[in-house]
Amino acid sequence: MTTILEQGNISIHTENIFPIIKKWLYSDHEIFLRELISNAVDAIQKLRMVSHSGEYSGDLGDPLIEIKIDKDAKTLSVSDNGIGMTADEVKKYINQVAFSSAEEFVEKYKASGDQQIIGHFGLGFYSSFMVAKHVRIDTLSYKDGAQPVRWDCDGSTEFQLSESDRTTRGTTVTLTLQDEEEEYLETARIQQLVRKYCDFMPVPIYLDGEQINRQKAPWKESPSSLTKDDYLEFYRYLYPFQEDPLLWVHLNTDYPFVVNGILYFPKLRPDVDVTKGQIKLFCNQVFVSDNCEEVIPRFLMPLRGVIDSSDIPLNVSRSFLQNDRTVRRIADYIAKKVGDRLKELYRDDREAYIRSWQDLGTFVKFGSMNDDKFKKQVEDILIFRTTYQEPPAEKPAVEVQTAEGDVWESGAAAPSNTVDGKTYTTLKDYLERNKERHPNRVFYCNDEANQATYVELHKSQGLEVLFLDSFIDSHFVSFLEREYPEVRFSRVDSELDDTLIDKDQANDIVDPTTNKTRSEQIKELFEKALNKPKLTIRTEALKSDNAEAAPPAMVLLPESLRRLQEMTALLQQQEMAFPEEHILLVNTAHPLVQNLLSRSQGTILQPDGSAASDDLSTLLCQHIYDLALMSQKGFDAEGMKAFVERSNQVLTRLTR
């Protein structure tokens, strides 16, 4: 016969807390298992502590947590072999939920999110009542002479404390599940929850005699004890079916706050939402959340991995988290560690850094724009692909002391900035190299394919061009101009440097029959043929070693006007339309333009006074303009249709 030790009411000062728990505290009922297992781990760790302090000299045994399912009885139990509880401790820790007001408590914390307050107010155990209609605790304390105790509660404020028949140290919590919660009687469901929340807890968890958690948390290990394969295996476990990461950063500090973790730089696919965090937040190896947006700097959101900290307050709202001093310091620490890792890679493995730059560059640029400390940390490792050709690396000779005396030996070569035929440079090195030719001016390209003609023109005259062609670079150029106000950034198609124009060409020779220069005649020819009042036509002779290889005409978009239209399109969330106001620069040195002028001058007049070749000249002018527009993606659907039709007309006329 069971001896009743005590009956009474759970100490809550206003009303029944259980409906409040179910209504406000947890929308995800499944976390009850996480709370029970967390309590079991705590009990085991407390036993270790009292053993180390000499308060307990008994056999600790192998620590373990065991989950059992009884489908017939509709029960689920969680057992540990930890510290156990006496009757007085059950009264203290289980019965006295000491809130001044349950309603006040809920009002204060309900806005903080479902999973923010679990386990931090003694409520972890009470989450059992979300899924159970009856909860029983059987426990036996480690203390000498302790008596086993049983606690029963049916979800009301009434409880019963009685003797238990338990014979082994530790605690078992048995839940009789509600009819609508019977999913937790399925083995697969329990396995899934343990993997989600408790996979890295430092105690083995058994179900049906089989261990179902990994137990080892790599982020708690010393970095020196982990191999490259260890890091990669952990990443593949966390993010299956993903490409391997580019590199990783191991966080490990216990002062002035505790933070452990491993952060990975993934390859950025176009379908990745860089605004959505994918770093998993843990607290003492217990999974808390799938993202920790308030804990890490915004620019590191695309990183993946794990952050584990007991110093991040989980019992507060997100807005509080963002303003919490410790959280801000943790965010600064994470950003610094990421910056240090990038600098280390740049210094020690320049080739790997460059190969990863297409993905790393997005992090580094976005971080530079959003975090001044991070910008200062990485400004010397911000690199850009360039048209510059690096000379062959030479190993510097150094004087060394040998047994035979002083000798000169070849030293280690400086790190190469060229990988797979592509060279990269810092902005500082670019400006230093070009300070004699174009001081404080940077030529850049943002569309290698469509601006190839412009890039080649610059290269042919020895002008170095940077490639700023990632999706973030349109914003990054503006950022660089604010950071370096003395430097002017010019896109290769915005304006032509004087270096590219041949001022010695005889464009100013006046034709005695028309009293106009050749440049004026060409300009008039194109103005009449194109008939676009908002189009500005300029005539210049472009420098080139091969006149036919240079373009016959180029469309230029003035930098300030183009940027204004880009900003307007961005604000209106529209794609930028090709501006009507632009410049057509006609290359008077190109044989096609010269032939066109000669053709128009040598025409035979028809009886009506018109030239027989006027219409073909018009078609050729339009065709030259069309080709220049194509390099700027200046066609809409109608424009492309008209271009094809005109091209066919030109070819037809030329083949008559």
Interval 631-653: pLDDT, tens: 777 666 777 787 788 788 888 87
b/e burial code for range 611-635 (CB count within 10 A of at least 16 → b): bebeebbbbbbbbbbbbbbbbbebe
Q: Side chain identity at 61, as an amino acid letter?
A: G
pLDDT over 50 (residue 139): yes
- Tokens coding 375: 């910008």
Q: What pLDDT sits at residue 272?
A: 58
On whether the CB atoms of residues 464 and 444 are closer than 8 A, the answer is no
SS (H, E, C) 564-586: HHHHHHHHCCCCCCCCCCEEEEE
Q: What is the mean pLDDT of residues 414-431?
A: 91
- Tallying the residues shown for the chain, one arrives at 656
Between helix 325-348 and helix 357-370 the angle, nearest 10°, is: 140
Percent of the chain with pLDDT strictly greater than 90: 41
Other residues' Cβ atoms within 10 Å of the Cβ of residue 383: 22
Banded pLDDT at 98 (limits 50, 70, 90): very low
Q: Which two tokens stand for residue 523?
A: 């300009």
Most confident range (mean pLDDT) of 109-118, 297-306, 508-517, 612-621 is 297-306
User: At a CB cut-off of 8 Å and minimum separation 6, what does 483 contact?
Assistant: 375
Q: Could you tell me the maximum CA-CA distance found in the chain, to the nearest angstrom?
A: 129
> Does residue 577 register a pLDDT over 50?
yes
Contact 330, 297 (CB under 8 A): no
Sequence-distant (≥ 6) Cβ neighbours of residue 568 within 8 angstroms: 576
**Closest of 374, 581, 596, 353 to residue 479, by C-alpha:** 374
Q: Which has the closest alpha carbon to 492: 517, 458, 524?
A: 458
Measured between alpha carbons, how far is 391 from 566 in angstroms, rounded to an integer?
Answer: 38
* Segment 42-85, tens digit of pLDDT: 899 889 988 888 888 888 889 999 999 999 999 999 999 999 99
Whole-number Å distance between alpha carbons of 106 and 123: 12
Q: What percent of the chain has pLDDT over 70?
A: 80
The amino acid occupying position 91 is K
d(CA 20, CA 18): 5
Please provide the DSSP assignment of 291-306 as one string: --TTTS-GGGTT-EEE
pLDDT recorded at residue 369: 92
**Cα–Cα distance measured from residue 338 to residue 616, given in angstroms and rounded to the nearest whole number:** 63
pLDDT at residue 150 tops 80: yes
256 upstream amide cis, omega within 30 of 0: yes
pLDDT of residue 109: 44
**274 versus 444: which is more confidently predicted?**
444
Q: Of 337, 362, 265, whose CA–CA distance to 279 is shortest?
A: 265
CA angle centred on 651, ends 602 and 586, rounded to 5°: 60
Q: Please give the structure tokens belonging to residue 204.
A: 């083995």
Q: What is the pLDDT of residue 127?
A: 83
Reported as type and span, the H/E element at residue 318 is helix 318-323
336-360: average pLDDT: 93
Least confident of 253-267, 269-283, 398-412: 398-412
Q: Are 238 and 305 in contact (CB under 8 A)?
A: yes
Residues 6+ positions from 394 with CB-CB distance below 8 Å: 413
Output phi, psi for 527, to 5 deg: -60, -45
Greater confidence (533 vs 156) lies with: 533
pLDDT for residue 97 is more than 80:
no
Tokens 């900035």: give the residue. Answer: 417
User: 305: number of CA atoms within 13 Å, CB side?
Assistant: 28
> SS3 of 384, please?
strand
| Positions at the binding site for ATP | 35, 39, 80, 85, 171, 318
Instruction: Check residue 390 and report its DSSP letter.
Output: P
Structure confidence by residue, pLDDT tens digits, 208-217: 999 999 989 9
Q: How confident is the model at residue 103 (pLDDT cuts 50, 70, 90)?
A: very low
Measure the CA–CA gap between 76 and 74, rounded to whole angstroms.
7
Instruction: Determine what percent of the chain falls in helix, strand and coil, rounding each to the nearest 5.
Output: 40, 20, 40
Token pair belonging to 71? 């489908």
CA dihedral 320, 322, 325, 330 (to 10 degrees): 130
Three-class DSSP category at 474: helix
Is 169's pLDDT higher than 60? yes
Rounded to the nearest angstrom, the gap between the alpha carbon of residue 417 and the centroid of all alpha carbons in its chain is: 25
Q: What is the pLDDT of residue 638?
A: 77
The CA distance from 75 to 155, in Å, is: 15
pLDDT of residue 253 exceeding 50: yes
Q: Which amino acid is at 104?
A: E
Q: How far apart are CA 196 and CA 235, in angstroms?
A: 15
String of DSSP letters for 247-290: EEEEEEE-SSS-EEEEEEE----TT--TTS-EEEEEETTEEEES
pLDDT band at 112 (very low <50, low <70, confident <90, very high): very low
Per-residue pLDDT, averaged over 378-405, amounts to 77
At residue 393, the pLDDT reads: 65
Residue numbers in the known binding site are: 35, 39, 80, 85, 171, 318
Any idea which residue has 């990975």 for tokens? 264
As a whole number, the mean pLDDT across the chain is 83
